[in-house]
Structure 1
Amino acid sequence: MSVALMWEARAAEGRGAELLAWARAQELAVAPVRRETFRAPADRVLVVTWWDAAPDAELPELPAPPADLVARAPHRWRFESVGLG
């Protein structure tokens, strides 16, 4: 079973590069099968991790960044793969 965890945050005004660097520097207690980090307009940062795990498995997630670095608390979602195509 494949599970994807998504973590998305919006940086405080003008701090997008710092939030991106912070997110990329975060280590998880267990390494995922895959991890990708994205950036988007409005200083948004998205991290997606993929796991071979049950949909309800306990998995490590990125923590909340320092409050002064973000415009709001991060959003988190968990998705279960339904296959390719």
Structure 2
Amino acid sequence: MIAVKANAITAGSCRTRHSRRTMIVADVIGVDRKHGLLKVKDPQGNVVEARVRHPELLDSVKEGDQLTLEYTEAVALSVTRGP
């Protein structure tokens, strides 16, 4: 699913934001309960470390577990006309 939101366009400028929700199955390779961080490796071998919104959920997670993760990737873009 890709959601696109465009802000008002004024003369000589344009702003837009794009976001995409993604679901993957990943291997847990690190858990930092003190800082609420989870490090996972996706099926392509990419390693991602992310802050968990609800760190109490990390209490039952350990290295070697497989998790199904849903996350949002976002990009904001602003283009303005030069002087």
Higher relative contact order (CA 8 A, sep 6+): 1
Output the TM-score relative to the length of structure 2: 0.24
Structure holding more helix per residue: 1
Output the TM-score relative to the length of structure 1: 0.24
